[in-house]
Amino acid sequence: MKSVFSFRMTAILVLVLIFSACSNDHKKQGTLFQTSTINALLQGDYDGTMTFGQLKKHGNFGLGTVNTLNGEMVGLDGKFYQVRTDGKAYLISDTMKTPFAEVTFFKPDTTVSLDDSIGSFEQLQSYLDKLLPTPNIFYAFRITGRFDDIETRSVPQQHKPYPPLTDVVKNQATFEFHNVEGTMVGFRCPDFVKGINVPGYHVHFITSDRKAGGHMLACKFHKANIEIEYLTRFKMDLPRTASFYNLDLNQEKAKDLEKVEKK
């Protein structure tokens, strides 16, 4: 009788472990995780509610910003970097917080060796669009190589009362890189996420030595390695704060978003 009971308990334990492993894999692969919304950030909700230690549980690759909008965030290979207005990238500690970020556990579904001339960020987007099977899902992409020209920006730390993001970018710092090795970290979101995330492409950049980078504004290159992951699951964590609860997130912010995302 004891042996039968022991066998049953062992079998149950094995099934639990298998289900747990499958469940964890389901959470990690093909899932875009996001904290807060882009419209909340546009309206000046810059107080971080999630630590980077917590964020790491949802992804090892991504982009966003840091508490009080203190610079641009780049996540690559499980490490998160803060690019401040001095243009330098600083390693982010697990205790620091973010008011907006999007991450995934990056595992590419397709890889392409680009050997064409890309003369602008707009041309890069058109090239990538041709590689995608549908505009109706999310994508993460990593582009590595030596780039002829890259232009990035970062924004200064803000203090209460926080101004809207359109006012903040008027004082952004911009940086130019020439003949530089590095990595573009980006996402492409479908149009139906308007107000929640950035429809279309959102890209940050970091140099191969992880010492500089920022939010990408422009690029020019002719050779690179492109890795793309198809993301068919989307998960959000919304702030439980009075500031977020009191925002009017029904406002149309497409024009404001265009001002802060583009050069």
Write down the pLDDT at residue 26: 43
Largest Cα span, the chain: 76
Q: What is the pLDDT of residue 23?
A: 44
Kindly report the pTM of this predicted structure. 0.89
Q: Binning pLDDT at 50, 70 and 90, where does residue 29 land?
A: confident
- Band (11; pLDDT cuts 50, 70, 90): very low
Domain segments of the chain: what residues?
A: 31-261
Q: pLDDT digits over 143-166, tens only?
A: 999 999 999 999 999 999 999 999
Of the candidate CATH numbers 3.30.1330.80, 3.20.10.10, 3.30.70.20, 2.60.320.10, the domain formed by 31-261 belongs to 3.30.1330.80
DSSP lists the bridge partners of residue 152 as 175, 216
**CB-based contacts of 200: which residues, under 8 Å, 6+ apart?**
125, 188, 189, 191
Indicate the helix (H) or strand (E) that contains 13.
helix 2-28
CA distance 44 to 168: 9
For residue 200, is pLDDT > 80? yes
* pLDDT reported for residue 27: 52
Query: Band of the pLDDT at 69, cuts 50, 70, 90?
Result: very high
10 has pLDDT over 80: no
Alpha-carbon distance 151 to 37, whole Å?
Answer: 25
Phi first, then psi: what are they for 193, rounded to 5°? -95, 15
Predicted confidence (pLDDT) at residue 15 exceeds the cutoff of 70:
no
What are 126-145's pLDDT values in tens digits? 999 999 999 999 999 999 99
- Alpha carbon distance 173, 151 (integer Å): 11
| Lookup: tokens for 109 | 């579904």
pLDDT of res. 14:
39
SS3 21: helix
The candidate with the shortest Cα–Cα distance to 244, out of 41, 33, 34, 98, is: 41
